[in-house]
Structure 1
Amino acid sequence: MQRTSFSDMRCPVARSLERVGEWWSILILRDAFLGITRFDDLQASLGIAPNMLTRRLRALVEAGMLERRRYSDKPPRYEYVLTPRGRDFRPVLVALMAWGNRQFAVEGEAMQLIDEITGEVVEPVMVDAKTGVPIDRSRHTLHAGPAADERTRARVETYAQHRALQRAASDTSSP
């Protein structure tokens, strides 16, 4: 079965998934953030088949998330290091970790984000870079951007209508 490509969609979520939407890709990026960059080490960490790891690494290099660097000539060996685009994925991984800890870690948190100055566990939140205000559903809403196509505009309009109905319902239910 042929996989659908999202590369031509004007949706930033779809285009992001085109690059990292396969679970092995996200786990490879997680390991690269942890400093695991060599093929054999990635394979051991992930328990992934070599042919699958080769395909995922090639795709991440082609997407500009990782750079393939030679670290040994005899035999030729490579490591896969994060590019600036790959490093920019860190907040997504931190958000996935925090969400996973809140929603699925019934046995307790297996990974935590720690403030290296205070030593305290950090609970990440998304904030507006300009104001520092936490992103909140009641204050912030999605709108179609200048490059949105008709599908995206229709999707966002449906979202706006849904939010308006929710607000109207909550206004009539409050005393």
Structure 2
Amino acid sequence: MKKVDSDLFGICPFVTSQKVLQGKWAILVLHELSEGTKRFNELERAIKITHASLSSQLKYLEREGIVSRTVYPEVPPRVEYSLTAIGRQFRPVLASIEAWGNSYIEYLHANR
């Protein structure tokens, strides 16, 4: 098998997608944000993720242009996260992952 080189980022759609979606929590974060804008604590509770892991994943997705972070000048500061335009284009992929996941769960139940 040919080794997939990281030089293919930005060229090969599979390598590019895999790089952007790296991280244990990326798809779950995107799923939560696909339902609408959320605050940090809402995401933390919904995903049951540590503060450090969520912070790291959100920073990465923000750097990649998938997630937008909005800070409101209030005391205490309010920060909200949402999908960017390119992030919202991932919604049909999430729906496909959900459909496949449900089919696979049915398969597991039938074959175990």
Fold agreement, TM-score > 0.5 = yes
- CA distance in structure 1 between the partners assigned to 2:24 and 2:94 by the alignment: 12
Contact 1:36 1:42 in 2 (8 A): no
Aligned counterpart, 1:97? 98
| TM-score, structure 2 normalization | 0.82
SS state of the match for residue 23, structure 1? coil
CA shift digits 1:34-91 (9 cap, x unpaired): 2251100000001100011000000010010111012452111211111011001111
Contact 1:43 1:50 in 2 (8 A): yes
Contact 1:72 1:78 in 2 (8 A): no
Q: What letter is aligned with 1:51?
A: A
Q: Greater helix percent: which structure?
A: 2
Aligned counterpart, 2:56? 55
Stretches of 4+ aligned residues off by more than 2 angstroms: none
Q: Which has the larger radius of gyration?
A: 1
Q: What letter is aligned with 2:42?
A: D
Contact 1:71 1:77 in 2 (8 A): yes
- Identity rate of aligned residues, in percent? 36
> Is 1:17–2:21 an aligned residue pair?
no
- CA distance in structure 2 between the partners assigned to 1:62 and 1:38 by the alignment: 18
Question: Aligned-pair RMSD on alpha carbons?
Answer: 1.8
Range with greater deviation from structure 2 (87-96 or 29-38): 29-38
- CA distance in structure 2 between the partners assigned to 1:21 and 1:102 by the alignment: 24
- CA distance in structure 2 between the partners assigned to 1:58 and 1:77 by the alignment: 16
Contact 1:67 1:82 in 2 (8 A): yes
User: 5+ residue gaps in structure 2?
Assistant: none
User: 5+ residue gaps in structure 1?
Assistant: 108-175
Give the Å deviation of 1:101. 0.8
CA distance 1:72–1:47, shift in 2 (3 Å): farther
1:9-88 residue pairs with structure 2 within 5 A? 9=8, 10-35=11-36, 37-71=38-72, 73-88=74-89
Q: What letter is aligned with 1:61?
A: E
Count of residues in Structure 1 that have an aligned counterpart in Structure 2? 102
1:136-175 residue pairs with structure 2 within 5 A? none
- CA distance in structure 1 between the partners assigned to 2:38 and 2:83 by the alignment: 9
